[in-house]
Chain A
Amino acid sequence: MSSEQGQTAALKQLRAARRRRFVERLDLMEILYRVYLAAIFGGIALVVIAGWVEEAPASAGAVADMSAHGPAVLGLALALAALVGLRSGARGGPLAIEAAEVQYVLLAPIDRGAALRPAAWRQLRVSVLTGAVLGAVIGNFVFRRLPGSPVEWIACLALFGALLPLCTLGAALLASGGRLRPATATAIGAGLIAWSLADLLLGAVTAPATMAGELGTLPLQDGGGHLALAAVGLAIALALTWLGLRGVGRIALEAARRRAALTAELRFSASVQDLRTVVLLRRQLASERPRRRPWIRLGAAASSRHPVWRRGWQSFLRWPLGRLARVLALAVGAGAATAAAWSGVTLLFVLPGALLMVAALDLVEPLAQEADHPTRRELLPVAVDALFRRHLAPSAVAMATVLLIGVAAALALGAPAATAAVGAVMLAPTALVLACCAGLSATNDPYRYVLTPQLGYAQSAAPVVIAIVAAGGPLLAARESARHGASAVGAAFSIEVAMLLIGIAMAWWLGRRMADESAVAT
C-alpha cells in the first residue's frame, strides 16, 4: 500500500469507527419516541392541511395562468435558492467542518477534495431526499385541483423539490471552491434572479432557472418542447453541482474554521431553542455587521424626552444592506402569500405571519440588546418594565412599514382592492402583536424549562403561533366574508380589536417578565 493509499485508508477507517461509535451511543428508545411524536404530529398536520386545501378543480383561467407563468415563477424560486447558496458558499459554506477536522485532516498532506467530498455528498443526499419528499407531498395535494395524473404531479414536484436544495448546495459548493468574494457571489445571484424575472415579465424561457422551472408544471404543458427545456434545466443544475463537488477541496480554510466555530455554537443554541443566540450567530455567519455610517444620520436630539425611541431608530438606520434586503424580501413574500391565499390556496394564510415573524426578529434588535446586557440596564434610572415597553414603540412602527410593503406587494401581485382596506385596518394591531411576539422570543430564557422540555418547546412555539394567527386570521376572516357577500373590512376589524387587546396584554407581560427577572437577579 502506498503512503497516499494508507492515509486515505486511515481517514476512511477513522470515520467509519466514529460513525459506529455514534450509532452505539444512540438511545434507541429516545429515537423511537421522537419518531412516534413526529408521526403523530406529522399525521395531524397532514390531515389539517388536507382539510384546508380546496379540492375543487381550478378554473380554466387559473390553469392557463399557471401554465404560462408557472415555470418562470418556479424558476425565480430556483434563482433565489441559487443566490442563497452563492452567498453561503462565498462565506465558507455549505459544509460545516469540525474544527478538529480542519486542524488535523485539512492540514495533513492528503487531497482535501477526497477528504471533504463524502461530507458534501452526505449533505446533498439528505437535502435532496428531504426536498423530494416535500415535493411529493405537495404533488399529492396539487393533482386534486389541477389537470394531470397523480403520478405525473407527484413525480414532477418531487423532482422539483429535489432541485431546490440541489441549486442551493450546488451554487454554494461552486462559490466556495471557486473562492468567490461575497460581493461577486451576490452579483451573480442577483443576475440570475434578474434573468428569471425578465423571463417572467416577457413570458420567455431563456434563463436556465426558468427551464428547470418547467419541471414543476410539466403536467400542465403540451408538447415535448417543455420536457426538453426541463431536461436542459435539470442537466445544467446537475452539471454545476458536479463541478461544485469536484472543486470542494479548494475551500478556504479561514472561512471553514470560522464557520466551524459558529456552526457548533449555532447547533447547540438551536438544540436548546435559544432563538436570540441563533439570530446573533446567523448574523455572524453571514458577516452581517451594522454600518459604520448610518444611512441617514439623525440630527442632534432636540430634547432628552425620548431616548429609547431615538436609540431604536439609530439602530435601524445602521442596518446593513443584506438585512434591509432580507426584510424587504420577507415583506414581499408575505404579500405574495397573501395574494395567493386570497385567490383560493387557504393553506398559504400560514405564511404571512411566519415570514413577518422572521422580519420582526430583526426589528426588535434594540430591545433584544437591552435584554442581552442586564448589568447596563440595571444602571439606568428607568423602571425595567417601562424600558422594555418603550423599546417596543420603534419596533412596532418599523413593523408597520414592513406591513405596508407587504400590502403593496399583495396588491401588485393581483390581490383584490379590498386587501388595501383590510391591510389598513390590520396595520397597527398586527404590527404591535408581531413586535411583541418577536420581543418575547428574543427575551425567552432557554434554560428556564430545562427540566421540562415540553414547556420549553411551548415557550418557543407560542410567539410564532400567535404571529401566524395575528397575520393570517384576520385575512382569512376577511376573505371568507368577502366570498359570502359581507364586508371584508368589517370582519377584519372585529378581529383586530381583539388583536389590539392581545398586543397590549403582550406588551404588559413582556415588561412585567423582564422586571421580574431583574428583581430576581438583583
Chain B
Amino acid sequence: MIAGVDVGAAPALLGAHGLGRTYDGFIALDAFSLELGEGELVALVGPNGAGKTTFLTLAAGLLEPSSGSIAIAGVPAGSIPARRALSYLPDTPVFYEDLSLGEHLGYVAALHGVEDPGARAGELIERLGLGAWEDSLPSEFSHGMRQKASIAIALVRPFAVLLADEPFDGLDPPSRDVLFELLAEARAAGAAVVVSTHRPDVIAAASRCVGIRDGRLAYDGPPEPRALAEFFEP
C-alpha cells in the first residue's frame, strides 16, 4: 500500500520503456525510458514543445503510445488499476461548469471509492485558501482560483503517482508554499510525484531531475543547476 493505494509488488511506480509518440509524422517523444520509485519528486524540465506534456498525458492514459510501453504500478497506463493509482493534474484546469468546488471534490472522491472525503476535502480547501469559494461555480473563479481548485481535486483522492503539469503557474507565493508542502507530504507518504516545470525553485526542491529535448531523454540525475542550464537557454 502506498498513500492508501494498493500497488501490489510493482517493480516501479512508473515505468516507461522505449516510449514514442508521433503526431502526423512529427515525433513528439522518441525512445523515452524512465523508471520512478516510491517517494521520488521528479522535476520534468525541457524547452517548450520538448515533449513534457506528451509524456505526462501518455502516463495518464489520455494518449496512446506510437511505440514502446508505459506502466503505472506494473499495469498498463490507462487500465483501471493504473487509473486507481495515478492522479493527473492538467496544465489547463478542467471543470463541470454546473458543479461547485465542494461538489467537484465530493464527486471525484466518490469516483475513486473514498466514502467520506469530508475531512480531506475540508483540509485542502482550507490550506489552499478556498474556504470562501467552496459553494461557488467555476465560472466565478479567477485564473489562480481555478488552478488551486484543480490542485484540490487532484489531491482529494488517494494516489501512488501524481503527475502535475506546470502546477505552480498562476499561484500566488503563499499558495506556492502550500503546494510545496502538499507535494512533500505526498512524497513522504510514498507517492512518486512528477512535476513538469520551468521554475528553478521547484527544480531545487526535487529529488531528481529529468530533462527532455526534442522528445528524447537528455538528462536524468540530481537537480544540478549547471547541468540543467542548457534546458533554459533560448
Residues of A within 8 A of B (CB-CB), count: 26
Q: Does B205 contact A (CB under 8 A)?
A: no
Say how far A223's CB is from chain B's closest CB, in angstroms. 51
A/B pair count, beta carbons within 8 Å: 68
Q: Give residues of chain A (1-25) contacting chain B, Cβ–Cβ below 8 Å.
A: 3, 6-7, 10-11, 14, 18, 21-22
Bound Cα distance from A3 to B61, whole angstroms: 22
B111-A108 in contact (CB<8A): yes
Closest to B58 in A: A254
A10-B110 in contact (CB<8A): yes
Comparing B78-86, B120-128, B170-178, B194-202, the segment that makes contact with chain A is: B78-86
Say how far A321's CB is from chain B's closest CB, in angstroms. 16
User: Contacts A18-B98, A109-B80, A252-B64: A103 and B90 contacting too (C-beta < 8 A)?
Assistant: yes
Find A105's partner among B62, B84, B111, B153 (CB 8 Å cutoff). B111
Find B112's partner among A21, A100, A108, A253 (CB 8 Å cutoff). A108
A7-B94 in contact (CB<8A): no
Bound Cα distance from A111 to B83, whole angstroms: 11
Say how far A256's CB is from chain B's closest CB, in angstroms. 9
Most buried by B among A98, A100, A101, A105: A100
A-B pairs with beta carbons under 8 Å apart, 11 shown:
A10-B111, A11-B111, A14-B107, A14-B110, A18-B98, A99-B94, A102-B62, A109-B112, A109-B113, A110-B111, A253-B63
Say how far B105's CB is from chain A's closest CB, in angstroms. 11
Contacts of B103 in A (CB 8 A): 14
Bound Cα distance from A102 to B57, whole angstroms: 12
> Which secondary structure dominates where chain A touches chain B?
helix
A107-B60 in contact (CB<8A): yes
Contacts of B55 in A (CB 8 A): none
Bound Cα distance from A102 to B107, whole angstroms: 14
B95-134 interface mask toward A, CB cutoff 8 Å, 1 = contact, 0 = none? 1101100011001101111010000000000000000000
Say how far B87's CB is from chain A's closest CB, in angstroms. 9
Q: Does B168 contact A (CB under 8 A)?
A: no
User: Contacts A109-B80, A253-B62: A18 and B112 contacting too (C-beta < 8 A)?
Assistant: no
Q: Does B88 contact A (CB under 8 A)?
A: yes
Bound Cα distance from A109 to B158, whole angstroms: 12
Residues of B within 8 A of A (CB-CB), count: 27
Contacts of A11 in B (CB 8 A): 111
Contacts of A101 in B (CB 8 A): 96
Contacts of B84 in A (CB 8 A): 109
User: Contacts A253-B62, A254-B62: A107 and B115 contacting too (C-beta < 8 A)?
Assistant: no
A102-143 interface mask toward B, CB cutoff 8 Å, 1 = contact, 0 = none? 111101111100000000000000000000000000000000
Q: Does A259 contact B (CB under 8 A)?
A: no
Bound Cα distance from A10 to B157, whole angstroms: 14
User: Contacts A99-B94, A109-B81, A109-B84: A257 and B62 contacting too (C-beta < 8 A)?
Assistant: yes
Contacts of A104 in B (CB 8 A): 94, 96, 104, 107-108, 111, 153
Q: Give residues of chain A (237-275) contacting chain B, Cβ–Cβ below 8 Å.
A: 252-254, 257
A6-B110 in contact (CB<8A): yes
B81-A10 in contact (CB<8A): no
Given contacts A100-B94, A107-B60, A109-B112, 4 further A-B contacts (CB under 8 A): A7-B113, A103-B94, A104-B108, A252-B64
B83-A100 in contact (CB<8A): no
Say how far B104's CB is from chain A's closest CB, in angstroms. 8
Contacts of A98 in B (CB 8 A): 96
Closest to B79 in A: A109
User: Contacts A252-B64, A254-B64, A257-B62: A7 and B110 contacting too (C-beta < 8 A)?
Assistant: yes
Say how far A254's CB is from chain B's closest CB, in angstroms. 5
